[in-house]
Amino acid sequence: MQKLLIEAEHIVKRYGERTVLDIEALRVYDGERVGLIGENGAGKSTLLAILAGELTPDKGTLRRYGDATVIHQSGETRLKASAQMASEFRAPQAREGLSGGEQTRRRIAGALSGDAPLLLADEPTTDLDAAGVARLRQRLADHAGALILVSHDRALLGALCTRIWYLEDGRLSDFPGGYADFQTELQRRRDRRQFEYDQYRSEQSRIRAAMQQKAEWAASVKKAPKRMGNSEARLHTREYTNAVLRQSHAKHTLQRRLERLEKVDRPRDLPDIRMALGASNPIAAKVALSAQGRALRAGGRALISDFSLALPTGSRTALVGKNGCGKTTLLRALRGEPSPGTQLEGRLRLNPGAKLGWFDQDHAKALDFEATALDNAMADSSLDASTARTVLARLNLRGDDVFKPVRVLSGGERAKIALAKLLLSDANVLLLDEPTNHLDVFTMEALEKLLAGYGGTLMLVSHDRTFVQAVATRVLTVQGGALTAFEGTLEQLEAEKSRDREAEKRQLEITALEMRLAALAGRMAAPRKGDRPEQLSAEYDAMAQRLREMKKT
């Protein structure tokens, strides 16, 4: 029987008048891998903090049967990393000026150095490169106890999780199975809600039409004509009165049925955007931005040397590479505002019709914290408020939230506003540095669709493979100080690399076979003591046949 590690009942947490969590019960057993899903601001980090004992709920009971360790989303870690973990995750010593990726690696190495049976991970892939994510994925898979994972990395959720918690409106829904199973079940429930809503509206319309028909029938019953005799008039009046009463009774019956009809709320859906964002100021030229560089330097060190870069108009380009290879530095140089201590030696050309828009990892500095979300989104836009609200809704910021000042919103919600502000601006060339950081999985999927339909030119940096594959139509790779362009998707690039590796492996085997055949031919021509000519001849024939087969493929 699995060991129970943590259980909670009737957990309630409020911030002011807002109830963030209202959870009936939850349990986690040893060996479970739980993915915690929810929109930004749903309370995921709050729930993790309560489960870790870092935050006290307003109501409810929590029992933990063993220690818990947390990989926090941000901040400096207090956990000391072992030499092995520090080396494996390239976690530097604490110092001023650490990058986001270096801070993440320190938090991971510290948390994984302990032996607590319950591991809570809050967005642990933030600012990690692909190699770092792969190492983390393996370590989390090897964790001996239980794992509760909050992540926007859908590939990581799909690889690790065997159970999904969905946090919505403070309530926790438990979905058995992995992330793909959760998506399928969630879509099934949404389809069911849509069906029930359609049935509700259909019945509502049918009853109202019947009520209207009864009212029209009652109005059509004629009163007695003035010239009708008294006895006939009395008879007609009784018939008239009875008919009106019958229709009135039928109408009231229908009214009661309408009032008793169980209300079904309309499912929340994504509104359509009836225009291509970024297409209002098209660039006539084939290339929106280009650069020729002898070197891109940081602190005197060449990050990229002898490179040529071009962004074709209308293209969506992903810039990929390991942490520290110079991706953000290159984006800033292309923007014309290089980072302090960096220098682009070469020539940068921006098409006269191009207007640059920039999404920084520190996106909050582009926002006015005292203004509302809607006012911020429209600050640089010539579009109307309806379009702005539609874009915000597509990024899962809806209703009265758009009228709240930015200062009261979460970090993920601020990221949505910064992205909406950029998409609604007059910019037609966007440079996006890690736009998926701090976004929930639902917003990431919505952002994918917005960017995949963007009418301008995009260049983005993201370590989320699923996101890059969905958005980018070409790839720029920074590796070993070189910049290489590939005209195709990330999946196509990886397939080509795989073919190249196979071809290289086959060529090495062909070379080895040819060398072996040459050696055998020499021994057959001048046998050594103990050699058996027939055995050498058979081995030669077998290798010659293998070589012919290898050269055919």
The total number of structural domains that make up the chain = 4
Residue 124 near residue 151, CB atoms below 8 Å: yes
Does the residue 157 lie in any domain? Answer: yes
Can you give the pLDDT at residue 235? 53
Residue 278 near residue 454, CB atoms below 8 Å: yes
Local confidence pLDDT in tens for the 553 residues of the chain:
689 999 999 999 998 888 999 999 999 999 999 999 998 888 999 999 999 999 999 999 999 999 999 999 888 888 899 999 999 998 988 887 787 888 999 999 999 998 899 999 999 998 888 889 999 999 999 998 999 999 989 999 999 999 999 999 999 999 999 999 998 998 888 888 888 877 877 877 877 787 777 666 666 655 545 555 555 555 555 555 555 556 666 666 767 776 776 776 666 665 555 557 888 888 989 999 999 989 998 887 899 999 999 999 999 999 999 888 889 999 999 998 887 888 889 999 999 999 999 998 888 888 999 999 999 999 989 888 989 999 999 898 888 889 999 998 888 889 999 999 999 999 999 999 999 888 888 888 889 999 998 999 999 999 888 999 999 999 999 999 999 999 999 999 888 887 777 777 878 888 888 888 888 788 888 887 877 888 888 888 888 888 888 877 7
Examine the domain organization and report whether 537 and 483 are in the same domain: no
Extract the tokens encoding 371: 């203004």
Examine the domain organization and report whether 83 and 122 are in the same domain: yes
C-beta atoms surrounding 362 within 10 Å: 9
Can you give the pLDDT at residue 518? 83
Question: Could you give the CA distance from residue 415 to residue 367 in angstroms, rounded to a whole number?
Answer: 10
β-pairing verdict for 33-37 and 163-168? parallel
Does the residue 265 lie in any domain? Answer: no
Does the residue 162 lie in any domain? Answer: yes
**Which stretches within 168-301 are classed as H helix?**
179-220, 230-260
Examine the domain organization and report whether 422 and 532 are in the same domain: no
Examine the domain organization and report whether 402 and 431 are in the same domain: yes
Angle of CA points 190, 194, 150, to nearest 5°: 20
Question: Could you give the CA distance from residue 385 to residue 365 in angstroms, rounded to a whole number?
Answer: 23
Residues 6+ apart with CB under 8 A from 362: none
Can you give the pLDDT at residue 420? 93
Residue 100 near residue 127, CB atoms below 8 Å: yes
Examine the domain organization and report whether 169 and 249 are in the same domain: no
Residue tagged 């027939």 (tokens): 534
Does the residue 364 lie in any domain? Answer: yes
Does the residue 163 lie in any domain? Answer: yes
Residue 217 backbone phi and psi in degrees, to 5: -65, -45
Examine the domain organization and report whether 397 and 538 are in the same domain: no
Extract the tokens encoding 445: 């999927």
Can you give the pLDDT at residue 273? 59
Extract the tokens encoding 290: 């280009």
C-beta atoms surrounding 171 within 10 Å: 13
Extract the tokens encoding 484: 């290489």
Question: Could you give the CA distance from residue 462 to residue 475 in angstroms, rounded to a whole number?
Answer: 11
C-beta atoms surrounding 528 within 10 Å: 7
Q: Which residues pair with 483 in a beta bridge?
A: 478
Last residue of a domain, one of 114, 149, 177: 177
**Residue 74, amino acid:** S
Residue tagged 């009163």 (tokens): 223
Extract the tokens encoding 61: 């009971």
Question: Could you give the CA distance from residue 205 to residue 193 in angstroms, rounded to a whole number?
Answer: 18
Residue 100 near residue 463, CB atoms below 8 Å: no
Question: Could you give the CA distance from residue 241 to residue 226 in angstroms, rounded to a whole number?
Answer: 17
Examine the domain organization and report whether 234 and 159 are in the same domain: no
Residue 61 backbone phi and psi in degrees, to 5: -125, 145
Last residue of a domain, one of 260, 277, 295: 260
Question: Could you give the CA distance from residue 148 to residue 119 in angstroms, rounded to a whole number?
Answer: 6
Does the residue 454 lie in any domain? Answer: yes
Domain containing 460 equals 287-488
Extract the tokens encoding 214: 């009864």
Does the residue 419 lie in any domain? Answer: yes
Does the residue 117 lie in any domain? Answer: yes
Last residue of a domain, one of 118, 143, 177: 177
Examine the domain organization and report whether 547 and 434 are in the same domain: no
Nearest to 263 by CA among 201, 208, 188, 171: 201
Question: Could you give the CA distance from residue 419 to residue 414 in angstroms, rounded to a whole number?
Answer: 9
Residue 122 backbone phi and psi in degrees, to 5: -105, 100
CATH number at residue 165: 3.40.50.300
Examine the domain organization and report whether 75 and 108 are in the same domain: yes
**Residue 8, amino acid:** A
Examine the domain organization and report whether 97 and 206 are in the same domain: no
Examine the domain organization and report whether 395 and 299 are in the same domain: yes
Question: How many residues comprise the chain?
Answer: 553
Can you give the pLDDT at residue 78? 86
Examine the domain organization and report whether 464 and 509 are in the same domain: no
